Structure 1
Amino acid sequence: MLDQLTAGAAQDDTHDPDPAAAEVVGVTIVWSDNNGISRSRTVPIGEFGAAVERGVGVTPLFAVFDSHDGITFEHAPLGTPSGDIRLVPVSDRIVRLAGQPGFGWVPGRQVAADGSAWPYDQRGVLERQVDRAAALGLDFLAGYEMEFHLSRADGDDGDDVRPIYEGPSYGPTKMLAVDAFAAQLLRDLDHNGVPIGQLHGEYGPGQFEFNIAPADPVTAADLQLLARQTVHAAARAHGLRASFAPLVTLGQVGNGWHLHTSLSRAGTNLLSGGDGPAGITAEGGAYLAGLLRDLPAIVAVTAPSLSSLQRLRPGYWCGAYAFWGVENREAALRLVPATPLLGAGHANVELKPSDASANPYLALAVVIAAGLAGIEDGLTPPGPVQENPDRWSGERRAEHGVHRLPTTVEEQLGALLGNRRVRSALGEELTDAFRAVRTSDAARAAGRDAAEVVRSYRWLY
């Protein structure tokens, strides 16, 4: 694998006119913490083989870092500064970074000091759910729509962020404003092995979006982290600053990382070809019903930050209410059905309340766990809602079982801790560490106004 890195460096001069700049000198091992923030260790290229065999040492307290790098000791098993774990690169996922040609990139897994499984390893949580699905004869695909904000690198002025372009949404002139950046980003994503379907200017000022092609869940989570790194490097190269934060400026449109999933049995997509709404099968309907049943607890993991709570507002197509609909962009769970043009394999479920503050491995793990539980319990979903229920009366929403998703940290944690299925998927140790981190974030924000809280998350992602 290292031979491929160094060979790639010698052969590719697209980004490296200076041959010395093409030499790969280090490999960055990346994982995502309980705030969705990427953490890393970089090893010299000559030490990478040793890192694969023995890992590199990191503190176990990364499991209780809050969003602003505060360390909470409110989770008893990690209540002291003592101890060490090992970060082991997943060597078959190594990539030479196009935007940082001196470095390779590889996801890592966290293991105990003796090499055994560590309960706080987020990647391992997802791998267990994928194995559970496979034991039931089910395969999953996952893909992301990733929204982000671009501004000039020197454009942050307190509450006022000056976006790169404020003109008409979705138009070619919005792309023209970032022409050189967009061209490099497309090249770099392709070089780094991140397959995307499209790139476009989004609705909000300075907002852009691309979608990552579906992959198995673990690969999808890896690609999401790699895509973020690729965007930040390309932005830096063009004097820009990227933010994937759930909300960049109070009152504006937020950034979602909409999570699309589909499931199949023996190669047949269970979200199409059936007798249910939009062709969903009985098992596909049970999967959807499982997501809907556990949605408040799921969203406590997929949109967990204080910035997330500010983003989740009715009328912004971010899924503020717990319901599902067929191609309803206001729904928290949007069924994207199969069509004659796209084929049966295209059908998927989009989770709207999902953003960059979610650990991608945990997000996918709880979605899969809830959906599998729905199948095991033989659930049937209620009928789809094709309107915006925020315009309904409270009585009508109650009649249809539609309710707001949690709007406070306390409500989110109540939903998470009160849900045995989601808690079991995470494991009791990680669940309580996650709780401690969310509580620490809330305490840090106490007494601050909403704009200040949103601003404090702006450049974390």
Structure 2
Amino acid sequence: MTKAASAAAKDLAAAGVSGVHLAWADNNGIPRSRIVPIAGLANAATRGVGVTSLFAVFDSHDAITFAHTGLATPSGDVRLVPVLERLRRLAGQPALAWAPGRQITADGSPWPYCQRGVLERQVAIAAERGLEFRAGYELEFAVAPAGSPGIVGSPGHPGPAYSPHALVPLDGFIASLLHDFAANGLDLGQLHAEYGLAQLELSLPATDPVSAADDQLLARQTIHAAAHAHGLVVSFAPMVGLGTAGNGWHLHTSVRRKGRNLLAGDGVPGGDGAAYLAGLLRDLPALTAVTAPSVPSTLRMRPGYFAGAYAFWGVENREAPLRYVPGSDLLGDAHANVELKTSDASANPYLALAAVLAAGMAGIEDALVAPEPIGTDPGGWTEGDRESRGVVRLPENPAAQDAALLASPRVAGALGNELLGAFRAVRASDAAWAADRSTEEVIAAHLWRY
């Protein structure tokens, strides 16, 4: 490892790189990092960089909660170690490189609060069961001129939604995104003006789950730097204003056994593919507590906004929180996947994927049977119609999310007792902060956190 790190550092230094971001995401989905000088990369790869263990109990507003007994004092330190195989030079910040970090204890053993380690554990469990997962993100974000207090009142593009005309004022920014994504080793599926106010969306092609989470963090860094270079700021926040569509980070997953996509089917999945989808549906309220965990997340998940307000699944139904995307003669069976819409930037990407994998694998293990898909919007149904189809409202507040998380041994178990305790403490701290504030204040406070 030392030899590889030294060689990488030498090459980067020759290219003008002075330092390396060692990045991770906390339990609020907020990226954190430490920069090490390029000459210190080899030492960091061997010994790590010291960081406080309390990052696991930072809330969304940088307050530290001591409500979790495992991290109840200011004492403690862990080591942040770069994952060298993911080391990238940042095209938009040419003096810096970037690598995701793995958190370990001072003696080098696994640390139970390391979110990347939680996902790696689920991937290993999947491999033991002969399963292989693919995952990819669609990222929505809003654009504004630098210095703007918000998106409403100073949108970064005038629309119309999905129009090429909307992107003309952002031409330099778009060009930088296309260039920097390629230079940073990120594949880009597509990019367009989205439905929300000054909103853009881009997609990252599917890859293995850990790489998908790494790519999500690197994509954020890339987008923020490109925006800054063109006098812009971007917000990935779940809500940017009342009365407008929020930002989702739609999570697409598929599962394979011996190379065969289990979600492939004749219009709908069958067998283990249907059981995987049924597992996600069974645990959807608990999943949402991890994949859309912030107070603004619950504001985003409203009926009629393609954000997933009720627990159901549908075939290509964009109002469904679980949207099944079938393969076709043109696209092939490998294209079949499930999109989770109740996902946003306030979720830690490693924990979000770990929870999804755990819930889906449990569905396969339990041989669950999926209910019939729904092709309309249950938000327009009567309560009696929803009750007859077993369609319930997803958690609408932090207390309901916490109860749903505790009610699922599968999702809670995937996090592990230690990290679950820290995660719940952080969510409770956020909820207490928001309790005496208006909706507008809550949205404004989260707008630039991601």
Give the TM-score taking structure 1 as reference length.
Answer: 0.95
Match for 1:254 among 238, 241, 246?
246
* 2:418 matches 1:429: yes
Tell me which of 399, 402, 415 is aligned to 2:404.
415
Pairing 1:266–2:258 present: yes
2:76 to 79, 83, 88: 83
Whether 1:317 and 2:306 are equivalent positions in the alignment is yes
**Secondary structure of the residue that 2:81 maps to in structure 1?**
strand
Q: Distance in 1 between matches of 2:102 and 2:33?
A: 11
Q: In structure 2, give the amino acid aligned to 1:333.
A: L
Q: 1:396-431, CA deviations, whole angstroms, 9 ceiling, x for partnerless residues?
A: 101111011000100000000121111110001111
Number of residue pairs aligned between Structure 1 and Structure 2: 446
Matched, 1:281 2:270: yes
Deviation per CA, 1:181-221: give whole Å up to 9, x if none. 00011100011011111010111121000000100000000
Q: How far off is 1:327 after superposition?
A: 0.2
Q: How far apart, CA to CA, are the structure 2 residues paired with 1:389 and 1:287?
A: 23
Alignment-derived partner of residue 182 in structure 1:
174
Aligned counterpart in structure 2 of residue 441 of structure 1, from 430, 441, 446: 430
8 Å Cα contact 2:28/2:347 also seen in 1: yes
Task: Report the equivalent of 1:303.
Answer: 292
Q: Secondary structure at the match of 1:70?
A: coil
Q: Matches of 2:166 and 2:412 in 1, distance apart?
A: 43
Letter in 2 for 1:250: L
Whether contact under 8 Å (2:301, 2:307) holds in the other structure is yes
Q: What does 1:99-178 correspond to in 2, within 5 Å?
A: 99-156=92-149, 160-178=152-170
Distance 2:309 2:68 in 1: 30
CA distance in 2, matches of 1:8, 1:65: 33
CA displacement, residues 2-33 of structure 1 (integer Å, 9 cap, x when unaligned): 545654676xxxxxxxxxxx510101100000
Who is 2:198 aligned against? Answer: 206
**Distance in 2 between residues matched to 1:127 and 1:237, nearest whole Å:** 35
Specify which of 397, 417, 420 is matched with residue 386 of structure 2. 397
Residues 319-361 of structure 1: CA deviation (Å, up to 9, x unaligned): 1110000000000100000011101100000000000000000
| 1:273, distance to aligned residue in structure 2 (A) | 3.6
Distance in 1 (CA, whole Å) between partners of 2:418 and 2:326 is 38
Is 1:197 the equivalent of 2:189?
yes
In structure 2, C-alpha distance between the alignment counterparts of 1:361 and 1:412, rounded to whole Å = 19
Q: Distance in 2 between matches of 1:370 and 1:183?
A: 39
Cα separation, 1, equivalents of 2:241 and 2:116: 31
Structure-2 residue corresponding to 1:32: 25
Q: In the alignment, what sits opposite 1:96? A: 89
Contact 1:6 1:24 in 2 (8 A): no
| Change beyond 3 A, Cα 1:161–1:218 | farther
Residue in structure 1 matching 2:232, options 226, 234, 240 = 240
Q: Secondary structure at the match of 1:443?
A: helix
The residue number in structure 1 matching 2:324 is 335
Deviation digits for residues 241-298 of structure 1 (CA, Å, limit 9, x no counterpart): 0110111112211000000000111111001146xxx241200000000000000000
Structure 1 residues 55 and 5: CA distance shift in structure 2, 3 A = closer
Match of 1:51 in 2: 44
Q: Which amino acid aligns with 2:344?
A: D
Q: Secondary structure at the match of 1:178?
A: helix
SS in 2 for 1:146: strand
What are the Cα deviations for residues 47-100 of structure 1, in whole angstroms up to 9, with x where unaligned? 110001000100000000000000000001100001111001111110000000
Give the counterpart letter for 2:348 in structure 1: N
CA shift for structure 1 position 446: 1.6
RMSD: 1.3
Partner letter of residue 320 of structure 1? A
- Rounded to whole Å, the distance in 2 between the matches of 1:194 and 1:415 is 35
Of the three residues 64, 71, 77, the one matched with 1:71 is 64
Shift of 1:167: 2.5
Match of 2:444 among 443, 452, 455: 455
Residue 377 of structure 2: which of 388, 401, 404 is its match? 388
Deviates more, 1:418-427 or 1:358-367: 418-427
The residue identity in structure 2 corresponding to 1:259 is: L
Aligned twin of 1:19: none
| TM-score after normalising by structure 2 | 0.97
SS of residue in 1 equivalent to 2:214: helix
Distance of 2:158 and 2:101 partners within structure 1: 38
Give percent identity, aligned residues only: 60
- 3-state SS of paired residue (1:52): helix
Q: Distance in 2 between matches of 1:36 and 1:286?
A: 29
How big is the shift at 1:160? 4.1
Unaligned ranges ≥5, structure 2: none
Contact 2:44 2:82 in 1 (8 A): yes
Alignment partners' CA distance in 1, 2:219 and 2:9: 18
Task: Give distance in 1, aligned partners of 2:72 and 2:242.
Answer: 35
Is the Cα contact below 8 Å between 2:9 and 2:42 reproduced in 1?
A: no
Query: Alpha carbons of 1:9 and 1:83: their partners in 2 closer, same or farther (altered >3 Å)?
Result: closer
Whether the 8 Å contact between 1:5 and 1:95 is mirrored in structure 2 is no
Task: Tell me the amino acid that sits aligned with residue 436 of structure 1.
Answer: A
Q: Does 1:345 align with 2:334?
A: yes
Distance 1:109 1:161 in 2: 40
